[in-house]
A and B are shown apart, each in its own frame.
Chain A
Amino acid sequence: MELLIKNGAVFDPKNGIAGDKTDISIKDGKIVDKVSTKASVIDAGGRLVMPGGVDAHSHIAGAKVNVGRIMRPEDTRSGIKPRTKLTRPCTGYTVPNVYAMGYRYAQMGYTTVFEAAQAIMKARHTHEELEEIPIIDKGALTLFGSNWPTMDFVREKDMDKLAAYVAWGLLASRGFGVKVVNPGGGEMWGYGKNVSGLDDVVPNFDVTPRDIIISLMKVNEMLGLPHSLHLHCNNLGKPGNYRTTLATLELAKQVKPSKDRQVMHVTHIAFNAMGGTNWMDFESKADEIANFLNNSENITTDMGQVIFGSATSMTADGPWQYTLSKLVHGKWSNGDVELEDASGVVPVTYYRQAISHAAMWASGLELALLTKDPYKVLLTTDHPNGGPFVNYSEVIALLMSSKKRQEEIKTLPPVFNERTKLPGINRELDFNEIAIMTRAGSSKVLGLLETKGHLGAGADGDVAIYDIKPDQIDPSVEHVKIKSAFSSAAYTIKGGEVVVKDGQITATPMGRTFWVDASVPGEHTEVMMKDIRNKFKNYYSIGLANYMVQDAYLTHPKVVKAGVVPVEVS
């Protein structure tokens, strides 16, 4: 199958193409240099062409997403679309059903999305949902930050065992990378408590969040995993937490990356860039975080942009979710997972009138606009924590138009100007920078830049065409058009197949699930497994024989090899 996209205004940052009229050729699902005259042709007619969108942090599948659906029928009722001959029914806004997840991402021109957190013990559930999400490629990051084996091996300072455990845990969960959420806090929440900073000691395990973060960063690099440590910092959501965040960012200096990417990805940083001492004097300190990023290497972040309106907060940060439910007097679901982590789900609404919400809204934008290198700040809403992913076009429009931002600021409380730097920021991002934040950057952060996020030969045949002509539009002024174009792609091409045309689904192929098979020396695994077997014998409520995710749950797997002993792939 061959496809030729002609006359596109192509933005492909990895290959240095910024708006040039370039033809894109796809053969057998991959980008190639040339196709034959038999290829079907799409005439882009000077419209904007980018690689398919890549989202490195979104909650699209698994236990907590489904908890969100079950506790929020009022959310399911929005966004309802009946089935068609081609598509299954769609429901939900912040917690869409599996079909809406796939279709809506594809309709925005996105072709690859990573679920941001799964406990190993509940990974089977994640994969059951991932296998039902149509069109997009996907994967899931696995939680390690409060796991008992992690804390045991960190305390023992046995990095070989910890590496063996991480490799085994990725296999057990068919996970793509190492996720750490409020390290140590998940265990403390087992008794309704929390850590308050990097140096609190976790009782019974005698480790600190600092030890956990540094050790997992080290083994992540020992294993040469495609992605870096992916960190949700301690103290998320608390006024004044930017200090903890800055101290955490400092830790990245202690470890050298094993490949051309960061050693630490600090996620949804809008929730970790808070100044002030309480909710009354709350202010954005995103400028300080951006300043740090501008003067450091090896650290990346994503925005976690807040969208005014309905959201569903869901995270393994169990203690924060309880605090949040008390703050908003809302429904609260909690989901501790034995020996592994905590979690919680709380519906929230972000109000323009609430200065704390307005300041959080500002801090995501400030971070993206004050950080010079767009490779360091990915565009996310931490779906559905800051708001649903369908609002990415709104975020793009805000980043590209100072005028739009000023219009929004007019609707916010007057005190807003004192609590953030946003009103004084004039920077407007261009299409190339947007392509980095949504494609090349996220692919690089994930370690998938070879095949994702660009349009050079060898890349996956994933392309988005948007209904705007970059040389005939002024995004600063015409931000309504920008938003409309990015919310509904003219074409989305996945693996060389047209899956969306004029915003409508035209095909529903199944995407692949990426997971990392990291090898370690056999003797390290043997020693590590002695501890694991003991945990199952005495503490887990299920048997080791029934713990690991079976092959049956990965009907379209894509294995990425890694490990301290590199294994040749035939």
Chain B
Amino acid sequence: MTVITDALCPFCGCMCDDITVAVENNKITEVKHACKIGAAKIMGHHRIKAPMMRTDKKGDFKEVSYDEAIEAAAKILADSKRPLMYGWASAFCEVHKKGIFLAEEVGAIIDNTATVCHGPSTLAVHEKGLPSATLGQVKNRADVVVFWGSNPVHAHPRHMGRYSVFAKGFFNEKGRKGRKVIVVDVRKTETAGMADEYIQVEQGSDYLIISALRAILAGQAAVVPDSVGGVTKEQLVKLVDTLKAAKFGAIFFGMGLTQSMSRYKNIDNAISLTTELNSFTKFVITPMRGHYNVTGFGQVCAWETGYATAVDFARGAPYYNPGETAANDVLTRKETDAAMIIAGDAGAHFPADSVRHLARIPVVQIDPYWNPTTEVANVVIPVAICGVEVEGTAYRMDGVSLRYRKLVEPEHPTDIEILEKITERVRKIRGD
């Protein structure tokens, strides 16, 4: 038996790096320190055994060789006039680089899972920037922590323990007792249940409430009505006092803010609130990123193309206009005539209109697992699991990059090998 320590967890944007894994005969037998979801991810489950293909999406898949599947995938991309390459969040930065290169080759639109998650946060960052900090800064200093539209107990189970609520730090030796925890949400989540203060907002009224907080902070409480979005003015005034009294405050926001009414404007407003709080004390704001390496795709895409996501290579140079060039834009407009879905599950998470269009066009899926995207795929290429069977780089929600270890030897080829071969085949087909 081999014991691997300091392993990283390939589940959420917390990227816990203190995992211990026991390996016997190239099988993981035990996972320590990870949360339940993380442990399940590392242990793995039913894999797609071999590449599969079908021409009729209502028909059954037939197992094929990797060469056949790669050839078919290359042909789909090379023949396409408007290919979409989507996913990327559950794969490493090294995979993203290969993907962007292939997207350039075929003039594709490349987009990642942020489009149905924290994409609106990126739009807000274009408007306002992002006053943030690494998670250890929060652990060592924060005495006021706000979770807004995020529920770490379920979505980021070790966030509170490692970084934000219970964690003890240099200036906060008491951990939980040294912190005031505030949860703002439409429903009383389990995170809200652990908070010192829970502020229940009416669905879709986050923007109003943030605006009211900003008005109070600016000394204009007089313009705020007695109740805003289901929250009393008294509560809002008290909240502003708490925020101002912080020595170091941190706001963590989730999809309750990015995917509810007003979307990116909510984040834009929350960033302005954070910036303005810095006139009184120190405050930072951080998106609670979901997939462990969804942040990484934004980083790689930004340094390779200049844009963080939704990049259209149809003109040979990167073009970016979310609303026009994001995955769901081209799918709902029925513009895409072929798609490659890799390390992300459009079938499960996209709006019905988008999935309906995916069902009509040729789809290549590259993934270790059978998921709803498989149901609309023509060519399915199983790969090794990044973070378990492959080593490589990912970015934590706060932009800290770490290198994942290989825990067991893969039985499948890696995403990189598949993308390189597809690129090579595409070039042959196109006569380059």
Query: A333 near B133 (CB under 8 angstroms)?
Result: no
Which residues of chain A in 21-58 are interfacial with respect to chain B, using CB atoms and an 8 Å cutoff?
A: none
Q: Are B318 and A338 in contact (CB under 8 A)?
A: no
Known pairs A81-B317, A82-B317; A70 contacts B134 (CB<8 A): no
- The answer to whether B305 and A89 have CB atoms under 8 Å apart is yes
In the complex, the chain B residue whose C-beta lies closest to that of A535 is B170
Does the CB pair A89–B128 fall under 8 Å?
no
Closest to A338 in B: B136
- Cβ A191 vs Cβ B282 within 8 A: yes
**In-complex Cβ contact of B248 among A91, A98, A190, A332 (8 A):** A190
Taking a contact as CB atoms under 8 Å apart, the answer to whether B125 and A71 are in contact is yes
A-chain residues with CB within 8 Å of residue B401 when the two chains form the complex: 122, 124-125, 128
Max chain B Cβ within 10 angstroms of own Cβ: one of A71, A91, A338, A540: A338
A97 touches B304 (CB 8 A): yes
Chain B residue numbers with a CB within 8 Å of A122 are: 399-401
| B247–A331 touching, CB < 8 Å | no
> Does B402 lie within 8 Å of A124, measured CB to CB?
yes
Tally of chain A residues near chain B (CB < 8 A): 65
Chain B residues near A69 (CB, 8 Å)? 302-303, 306-308
Residues of A within 8 A of B432 (CB): 85
**Which residues of chain B have C-beta atoms less than 8 A from A447's C-beta?**
none
How would residues 278 to 311 of chain B score, 1 for a CB under 8 Å from any chain A CB and 0 otherwise? 1001101000000000000011101111111000
Q: What are the residues of chain A within 8 A of B400 when measuring CB–CB? A: 121-122, 541-542
Set of chain B residues within 8 Å of A128, measured between Cβ atoms: 93, 300, 303, 393, 401
The CA-CA distance from A121 to B284 in the complex, in Å, is 19
Chain B contact surface mostly: mixed
Query: Are the C-beta atoms of B6 and A546 separated by less than 8 Å?
Result: yes
Q: Are B307 and A333 in touch, CB under 8 angstroms? A: no
Asked whether B128 lies within 8 Å of A331 as measured between CB atoms, the reply is: yes
- In the complex, A66→B305 CA distance in Å? 11
Mark each residue of chain A from 333 to 360: 1 if its CB lies under 8 Å from any CB of chain B, else 0.
Answer: 1111111000001100000000000000
Contact A71 B136 (CB under 8 A): no
Asked if B320 is at the interface of the complex by the 8 Å CB criterion, the answer is yes
Q: Is the CB of B403 within 8 A of A336?
A: no
Residues of B within 8 A of A346 (CB): 129
B141 at the interface (CB under 8 A from A): yes
Q: Contact check, B132 vs A333: say whether CB atoms are below 8 A apart.
A: yes
From the candidates B134, B168, B318, name the one contacting A337 in the complex (CB within 8 A). B134
In the complex, the answer to whether B306 meets A95 with C-beta atoms within 8 Å is yes
Q: How far is the CB of B285 from chain A (nearest CB, A)?
A: 9
Let me know if B129 and A190 touch, CB within 8 A: no
In A438-485, the 8 Å CB interface with B consists of: none
The reply on B417 being an interface residue by CB < 8 A is no
A346 to B170, CA, bound (A): 30
- Chain B residue nearest to A126 (CB atoms) is B401
Residues of B with C-beta under 8 A to A550: 403
A70-B298, A82-B317, A334-B284 known; A542 and B17 CB under 8 Å?
Answer: yes
Q: Which of A122, A204, A331, A346 has the most CB of B within 10 A?
A: A331
Number of interface residues of B (CB under 8 A): 63
Kindly report which residue of chain B lies nearest to residue A72, judged by CB atoms: B126
Q: How far is the CA of A339 from the CA of B200 in the complex (A)?
A: 36
Query: Using a CB-CB cutoff of 8 Å, which residues 150-187 of chain B contact chain A?
Result: 162-163, 168-171
**Residues of B contacting A415 in the complex (Cβ-Cβ under 8 angstroms):** none
Q: Find residues 104-162 in chain A having any chain B CB closer than 8 Å to their own CB.
A: 121-122, 124-125, 128-129, 132
- Establish whether residues B137 and A98, one from each chain, have CB atoms under 8 Å apart when the complex forms: no
Interface string of B98-137 (1 = CB under 8 A from A): 0000001000000000000000001001111111111111
Q: A192-B278, A345-B129, A546-B17 are known contacts. Are A91 and B306 too (CB-CB below 8 A)?
A: yes
Contact partners of B211 in chain A: CB under 8 A? none
Taking the closest CB of chain A, its distance from the CB of B193, in whole angstroms, is: 25
Nearest CB of A to B293, in Å: 13
Across-interface contacts of B125 in A (CB, < 8 A): 70-71, 333
Assess whether B141 is in contact with A539, with CB atoms less than 8 Å apart. no
Say yes or no: is A404 at the interface (Cβ < 8 Å to chain B). Answer: no
| Interfacial residues of chain B within 7-24, with CB under 8 A of chain A in the complex | 8, 17-18
A490 to B320, CA, bound (A): 34
Quick one: closest B residue to A65, CB to CB? B303
Whole-angstrom distance between the Cβ of B140 and the nearest chain A Cβ: 6
Q: CA separation between A440 and B127, bound complex, in Å? A: 42
Residues in A whose Cβ lies below 8 Å from that of B46: none
- In the complex, the answer to whether A124 meets B403 with C-beta atoms within 8 Å is yes
Q: A71-B126, A83-B317, A338-B139 are in contact. List 15 more A-B contacts (CB 8 A).
A: A65-B303, A70-B308, A88-B104, A89-B317, A98-B303, A124-B401, A128-B93, A128-B401, A191-B282, A325-B129, A325-B275, A330-B129, A538-B170, A542-B400, A552-B391
Q: Which residues of A pack against B, CB within 8 Å?
A: 61, 63, 65-67, 69-77, 80-83, 85, 88-92, 95-99, 121-122, 124-125, 128-129, 132, 189-192, 204, 322, 325, 330-339, 345-346, 538-543, 545-546, 550, 552
> Could you list 28 examples of A-B contacts with CB < 8 Å?
A63-B399, A69-B303, A73-B126, A76-B318, A83-B104, A89-B313, A90-B317, A91-B318, A95-B306, A98-B304, A128-B303, A128-B401, A190-B248, A190-B282, A191-B141, A191-B248, A325-B129, A332-B131, A332-B275, A333-B129, A334-B133, A335-B399, A336-B134, A337-B134, A538-B169, A541-B400, A543-B18, A552-B403
